[in-house]
Amino acid sequence: MKKLRVLVPKGRIFDNVSRLFADAGFPLTLADRTYRPRVSAPWLDVKIMKPQNVGELLEIGSHDAGFTGIDWIRENHADVEEIMDLGFDKVRIVAAVPASLNDRLLERKQLTVASEYINLANSWLKTRSYRYRIVRTYGATEVFPPDDADMIIDNTSTGQTLKDNGLRIVDTLLESSTRFVASKTAMKDREKRGRIGELAMLFRAVLDGRERVMLEMNLPQKGFEKIVTGLPAMRSPTVSPLYGDGGYAVKIAVKKSEVPDLIPRLKKLGAADIVEYDLRKVVP
């Protein structure tokens, strides 16, 4: 049996990816100061790695699949195959300057730009025709201005940290989120490609399940056809007759966002005994 070698990022992405594995049926157990979580599936081999390194390690073929932000894939020009966008840890890569520094002065002076994203920063700065020098940072980029940098290029989720440090955003370079990606070498291997596809299917089922709930209800016979044809559902409602010709039991899987409007409407249409419960996975 070939093991599928998977890289899971440390830091802020780890919790979301770890929960995804657990909900898919493969809980990760990570002891303190270790980088190899235990996982129940004998065909999975998981290693913890910084998200900055994931794309490059997949490209050279030392691992088969992994998770990282699309920002680091683009920054490192990593030649990998994107399997799916998980939608976690959404951030923007932005250029920000001290609030007191106006745009006209930016164009005139020689800029010192602090960033972890050397390649993304360099590409963007060239398009703006700035005169600049880039200083590589290793975290806490927002503390560089105004003493050590005129501008930073960094990731932000809400922009609040930048505001707290007296910075204003002048442009957005990229919008990023966590992606499930694979080595192109692994995707040429039939067995590994199959395993990667299985994981992707389970991940999608978990993510779809988080967005939906199941509603069960009893509907009267009178006006049933009109009511049931107007119900939202993934394909069509599941219907079964109640004992003694008392109407019908109906199940529908609906988006959570639809529920607040749907339940009062169902009640007005005569639905009774409405029950809502969460779904673990949804496989269309």
Query: Which of 170-179, 201-210, 229-238 has the weakest average pLDDT?
Result: 229-238
Q: Which two tokens stand for residue 244?
A: 């003694």
More confident: 7 or 226 = 7
Report, as an integer, the average pLDDT of 69-82.
96
Closest CA relative to residue 183, chosen from 175, 174, 192: 192
Domains along the chain with CATH numbers = 4-85+178-188 (3.40.190.10), 91-176 (3.40.190.10), 212-278 (3.30.70.120)
Q: Of 100-104, 156-160, 255-259, where does mean pLDDT reach its minimum?
A: 100-104
Residues 20-72 have pLDDT tens digits of 999 999 999 887 778 899 998 999 999 999 999 999 999 999 999 999 999 99
The pLDDT assigned to 201 comes to 97
Mean pLDDT of the chain: 92
DSSP codes, the chain: ---EEEEEE-THHHHHHHHHHHHHT--EE--TT-S--EES-TTEEEEEE-HHHHHHHHHHTSSSEEEEEHHHHHHTT---EEEEE---S-EEEEEEEETT--HHHHHHSEEEEEES-HHHHHHHHHHTT-EEEEEE-SS-GGGSTTTT-SEEEEEESSSHHHHHTTEEEEEEEEEE-EEEEE-HHHHTSHHHHHHHHHHHHHHHHHHHHHHEEEEEEEE-STTHHHHHHT---SSS-EEEEPTTS--EEEEEEEEGGGHHHHHHHHHHTT-EEEEEEE-S----
User: Is residue 235 very low, low, confident or very high in pLDDT (cuts 50, 70, 90)?
Assistant: confident
Band of residue 229 on the pLDDT scale cut at 50, 70, 90: confident
What's the mean pLDDT in 153-168? 93
At 105 the pLDDT is 78
Q: The whole model's pTM is what? A: 0.87
Residue 234 confidence (pLDDT) = 76
Query: Bigger pLDDT: 182 or 272?
Result: 182
Sign of the dihedral defined by the CA atoms of residues 30, 32, 36, 42, in that order: negative
